[in-house]
Amino acid sequence: MNYLLLVRFLSCTRYDGRSRLTKNYTYYDTKGRAIGTHSINHLGGYTKTESKLDFAGVAQQVITRHKRLDTDTERVITENFEYDHQNRLLVHKHQVDSNPVEILTQNTYNELSQLESKKVGGVSLGYSLQQVDYKYNVRVRLMILRILMEIYSDIK
C-alpha cells in the first residue's frame, strides 16, 4: 500500500507512580483517508488496524491485530462488511483468530432508506439470535415537526 502521510500522537499517562508513554500512529492513503492505525500501550503491547476501502472510501474489510502484553499471543480480528448499491450496510461479519465467522448484524431497509429490521448475532445468513423491527409513522413525525415549529414561533 502507498502511504501518503503518517500522523503521530503521543500521550503520557502515569501508572504506578511512573510516567509511561502510549504512542498512536495513523496512516493515510494518497486520497487522505485513514487506512490504518498503530497504538503501542504502556505495557509493551499494541493494537494495529488495517482497513481495505472501496472507491468511495467505505470500509470493506478491517483487520485488527492486538497484543495486551509484549509476551501475549497476537489476536487477529477480521471484520467484513457488505453494502447495497446505495452504500447501506447489509451484513457485518466478525471473526476472531481461526474461530468460525459470526454475523453481528443483518440489516434490511425500506424504499425510503430507513432501517426496517436488524438481525443481531448468528453464524449463518437468515438466522439470528435477536431481531429488531423498526416502524415509522409519518403522522407522528409531522406532529413533532408542527410542535417544534410552534415552540420556535413562541420563542421569537
pLDDT digits (tens, 9 = 90+) for 111-155: 888 888 899 988 888 788 888 888 877 665 655 566 666 666 666
More confident position, 139 or 35:
35
Q: What is the DSSP letter of 112?
A: T
How does DSSP assign 14-52, residue by residue? EETTEEEEEEEEEEE-TTS-EEEEEEE-TTEEEEEEEEE
pLDDT at 73: 95
Q: Give per-residue pLDDT as tens, 69-98.
A: 989 999 999 999 999 999 999 999 999 999
Residue 6 has pLDDT above 70, yes or no: no
SS3 10: strand
pLDDT at 44: 87
CA 78 – CA 98 distance, rounded (Å): 10
Mean of per-residue pLDDT scores for the chain: 83
